[in-house]
Amino acid sequence: MRGAGCLAGGRVGGCAPWSVESRGLNFLMLIDRESEVLRLESALVDCASNRARTIVIEGPAGCGKTELLEFVAARALESDAVVLKATGIPSESNESLGVLRQLLLLGAGLPAEVEQELHRLLEEEEAAAACGLDGGPASGGLLGPGGSLAPGGFLGTGGSATCGRAVRMRRFCAALHTVARDRLVVICVDDLQHLDNESLEYLLHIAGNSRSTRLLLAFGDVLYYRQQDAGYRTEFLRQPNFERIRVDCLDRSGTAQLLAHLQPDTPVCEELLDYAYGLTGGNPLLVRALHEEGPIADLLAEQKDSVDPLVGESFAHVVLICLERSGPMAGKVADGLAVLDDLAAHDLLTELCELPHAVATKAMRALRAARVIVDSRFRHPAVRRGVLDGMAPEHRRHLHHRAAELLHRQGATAATAAAHLLAAGHSDEEWAVTVLRDAAEEVLADDVDDLAVDFLDLAYRLCGDPVQRIEIRVRTAVILRRNHPSAAEKVAEGLLRAIHAGEVPTRQLMPIVDLFLVHRRVEEAFEVMTKARALAYEAARAGGAEGAAVDTRVGSDSALAQLVEARYPWAEGGVLGPPKVGGGGSSVVLTPNEERSVLDQPWSLSLGLNRDDYVIAAEELLRHTVLTDATLEPIASAIKCLLFSGNTQKAGFWSESFLESAERHGADGWSALFAGLRAEVAFAQGNPGCAQKYTQAGIARIVEGTESVLVSGLIALQVMAQIALGDIEGSARRLNQPVPSAVYGSAYGLVYRRARGHHHLAINRLDAALEDFVAVGEQARRWGADQPAWLPWRGDVAEVLLRLGERKEAERLVTEQITRVGGNNLRTRGISHRILGAAVGSDERLPLLTRAVAQLRLAGDRLELARAMCDLGDAHKQLGDGDQAAMAARRAWELATECGAQPLRARIDQEHDVNSWGTTVWNAPVDIRDAKLSDSEKKVAALAARGYTNRDISSRLYVTVSTVEQHLTRAYRKLNIGGRQQLPIDLQFEVDEVA
């Protein structure tokens, strides 16, 4: 008989032994399937010996069932067998006899006469079905809907229709047996779960009536696809020649083998294997899909550089294929798992998917078997992401909304439910807005401010209550200030437009005023306040319940004064008033109660009152306050209090401390604010290089570029530092950058115009400088913010006037500035005295400059001290005191060098004979700390270093001139110097001021 020799000898006769290498890439899915392959080859051998076999290869989706069937077919063809192949297709599962037609269409080796007979039988079957004699359950057929066994089994309960089908099935089976007498017949049907019932009946009949024939039936079936055991499974199990072959996903060893075959040039190290196995779970189909994304080693490298590693579309598509092949319930449960993620408890999952527990449990088994999930979670975020992306958008939103409802009902945290509301994008539930607002506060505790803003944006869209809507937008603006100050300002601008449109309730206006003030946007704050005043008076006149509910103070000058005082606590001499049309500012007269309310701000600084109390209160606040949205402004105000009270070291410490805190919060907007404060402190200490560094760091923090008025304030500080350092080109570049128009209505606009004025002054554009300085003064006075500690604009104008030769007006302005400066603000007073010294006659100049030097030394501003020392040297030089002039100039030169103030150094080089300082042989001085000066020697040397004569020192310390000379002689010897001109400049800062 043909084919007998080829199938003899206990193996598929004469054919080469099977191996992956001999079959090529198409058989890579058979790696680590040696046991299954041997069982299939054994079945072929049995069939060649007239022992028919029925085999069902079952396993999860993607594990190689199809490849094993292909292997059976290929081995059979090598033995000259007749091979009939078909695949169940979901869309054709209701098409009668569809799989049988495939078998005949795709068959190989059937004799023509047999093939014709089989086709005739199928045509008869179709004709019978057309006449209503289809042999289905109503007529007593074998299988009911879904493959369930109909009552009566093979025997049926019907009459002629069943008998008609039975006859045709016997004839169909006999035709195949005719072929099997001479040749092995192999029928391979994949995706058994999708077979139409009629084809399945025929195949079951063949399996049950072919025991002693050369016929092999091999089926591929997906585990857990059907939610109830189908009848065909029972029928197969009844066959004595039936065998079930279970295939599962690969273990780590098998995965490594597959990777080695897929990427022969890349060694499979443990790290690469961990990545691939962790992503695929050893599912061969997923491993191949991962390989198709590119070299897996490259994917691994990309994952290391990414916080949220991604996979490509190919892999995500194959994941969806696995889910689809795992059955409709598995896909439904996978959708639920993807939506719930970490929260996928079984009860919640079944309720979300609206499935019975048993059905959901079986679907979970299917997903676990395919290694798509581990326990109740997707094995990799990329797999979950692929499932979410593969869902229809409307279905995904529906599941998220339902998840939010279920979680809220179960008492989950607000943030947990809100995350699903956000993904759903809508909700008509009354509780949704409250949950979203609460969730925003919850995630803020972990500094997830972007998510908090997203929650509030959705709450705003869902909310219908006008009061709540304004509250939500105000809170959104406050949170945005953490990282997106420009966006926060845009929200505030939107609220202003809403006010103009009449959409904001009166009682919500004051929070908006405060919102503009935290951004230093004074003009808009006054605009809203004006609107609030008008509405408050109108409501009060209207009377009734609404009028009684309105606090008439909402629009009062005192209410605004308190707000402004809180935001600008360094204001001197009273409370800031509202803007006036025209020149001077006007303070608001407060009642005692109102004044007490203003002073209750513990960090407020009013130089006309007991300043020390406020400084102490500011330090207490800084020591005991944690940085939050609510404490940001009080903290910044307290640091300003320290700065403008002359406590620069403490201000520097606290600004640095809270800058670090802001960075820990990941709040770049806060960081920029504190970097600006730290830069202000550095500049006040005479360190423009440090100020430049901090302003640059602050500007870099703001992702929106120059769109925020805060950036304009930082640019102003940077320009001042660049001018001091002599980087005029750098300051010009900064000033050429566009700034928002709103900056000129903000407090940042004042310092910006002042910095621009100093740039004009540095390049000798005196008219432009004067215009900017005067504009700063006019606006400061109009706002009632004319405070020299913050904006010494009169001194700026005086410097321009001095260059223009208008000494009298310069003297008047700077004298007025001195009278407006508190006695403790030594830096501003020292700068003012230096400018005044340049405006008065030569006989008055020396005492003023000496006072300026003393004040600036105590203030700790080395750059301004250098300028004052330089002017003092000029004054001594004009009076003919060459030694004092040289000593002061040298001190100024050393300080300027230390500060990096190149323009000041150049001026000293030009005005003084610097080369003459080098004619003396200078010894290398001993460090002050190593010299071991006595207290008396240190005091005398310090005063000498400041420029005092021996007689001056004698009168200040109440000792004789001889004693002063003795102390100086011993100090020179210990410091290893030749005289007072070599006294170290740092000696000036070693002792406190002495009477």
How far apart CA 428 and CA 438 sit, in angstroms, is: 17
How far apart CA 799 and CA 807 sit, in angstroms, is: 9
Tell me: pLDDT of 569 over 80.
no
Contact 784, 775 (CB under 8 A): no
| pLDDT band of 554, cuts 50, 70, 90 | low
Q: Are strands 215-222 and 242-246 parallel, antiparallel or unpaired?
A: unpaired
Helix, strand, or coil here: 354?
A: coil
Write the pLDDT tens digit of every residue in 508-536.
Answer: 898 999 899 999 998 999 899 888 888 87
Write the pLDDT tens digit of every residue in 926-961.
Answer: 566 667 888 899 889 888 877 788 998 999 899 999
How far apart CA 520 and CA 36 sit, in angstroms, is: 77
Longest dimension (CA), the chain: 144
Contact 404, 413 (CB under 8 A): no
**Within 10 A of 547 (CB to CB), how many other CB atoms are there?**
15
**pLDDT at residue number 539:** 73
Tell me: pLDDT of 11 over 70.
no
- Own/partner contacts of 588-593, CB < 8 Å, gap of 24 or more, are 588/557, 588/558, 588/561, 590/558, 590/561, 591/558
926-995: CATH architecture: Orthogonal Bundle (1.10)
- Cβ density class 645-678: b for 16+ within 10 Å, e for less: bbbbebbbbbbbbbbebbeebebbbbbbbbbbbb
Mean pLDDT, to the nearest integer, of 589-615?
43
Residues sharing a CB contact under 8 Å with residue 935, sequence separation 6 or more, in sequence order: 991
So where are the chain's domains? 5-111+165-246, 252-309, 610-703, 714-784, 807-919, 926-995
Regarding the domain with residue range 807-919, which homologous superfamily does it belong to in the CATH classification? Tetratricopeptide repeat domain (1.25.40.10)
Rg (CA), the chain: 45
Mean pLDDT, to the nearest integer, of 74-96?
91
The beta strand positions in 40-105, using DSSP E, are 53-59, 82-87
pTM here is: 0.78
Structure-model confidence comparison of residues 221 and 379, the more confident one:
221
Amino acid at 502: G
How far apart CA 426 and CA 913 sit, in angstroms, is: 79
How far apart CA 513 and CA 636 sit, in angstroms, is: 19
Among the ranges given (471-475, 615-619, 695-699, 913-917), the one the predictor scored with the smallest mean pLDDT = 913-917
Helix, strand, or coil here: 260?
A: helix
Q: What percent of the chain has pLDDT over 90?
A: 56
Tell me: pLDDT of 158 over 50.
no
Write the pLDDT tens digit of every residue in 804-818.
Answer: 999 999 999 999 999
**pLDDT at residue number 6:** 46
How far apart CA 132 and CA 982 sit, in angstroms, is: 122
Tell me: pLDDT of 470 over 80.
yes
The DSSP 8-state label assigned to residue 980 in this structure reads G
Q: What six digits make up the tokens of 64? A: 């190689």
**pLDDT at residue number 240:** 80
Phi/psi for 298 (5° steps) reads -70, -40
Q: What six digits make up the tokens of 553? A: 């103070």
Q: What six digits make up the tokens of 434? A: 């409250």
Q: What six digits make up the tokens of 299? A: 């994917």
Out of 3.40.50.300, 1.10.357.10, 3.40.50.1000, 3.10.110.10, select the CATH number for domain 5-111+165-246: 3.40.50.300
The DSSP 8-state label assigned to residue 460 in this structure reads H
Write the pLDDT tens digit of every residue in 756-792.
Answer: 999 999 999 999 999 999 999 999 998 888 889 889 9
**Within 10 A of 528 (CB to CB), how many other CB atoms are there?**
26
How far apart, in Å, are the Cα atoms of 799 and each of 137, 686, 770, 863? 107, 19, 9, 17
Least Cα distance to 814 among 840, 829, 794, 834 occurs for: 794
Write down the residue that tokens 């590693």 correspond to: 309
Least Cα distance to 716 among 865, 520, 853, 584 occurs for: 520
**pLDDT at residue number 559:** 54
Q: What six digits make up the tokens of 140? A: 């007593």
Tell me: pLDDT of 596 over 70.
no
**pLDDT at residue number 266:** 85
Tell me: pLDDT of 922 over 50.
no
Q: What six digits make up the tokens of 706? A: 């120059």
- Measure the CA dihedral 863/864/865/868, to 10°: 130
Tell me: pLDDT of 623 over 70.
yes
| pLDDT band of 308, cuts 50, 70, 90 | low
DSSP 382-430: HHHHHHHHHS-HHHHHHHHHHHHHHHHHTT--HHHHHHHHHHH-----T
Q: Are strands 373-374 and 377-378 parallel, antiparallel or unpaired?
A: antiparallel
**pLDDT at residue number 611:** 55
**pLDDT at residue number 292:** 84
| pLDDT band of 98, cuts 50, 70, 90 | very high
Highest mean pLDDT out of 189-193, 832-836, 965-969: 832-836
Phi/psi for 188 (5° steps) reads -115, 120
Average pLDDT, the chain: 84
DSSP 25-58: GGGGGGTT-HHHHHHHHHHHHHHHTT--EEEEEE
Tell me: pLDDT of 898 over 80.
yes
SS3 string, 910-950, reads: HHCCHHHHHCCCCCCCCCHHHHCCCHHHHHHHHHHHCCCCH
| pLDDT band of 803, cuts 50, 70, 90 | very high
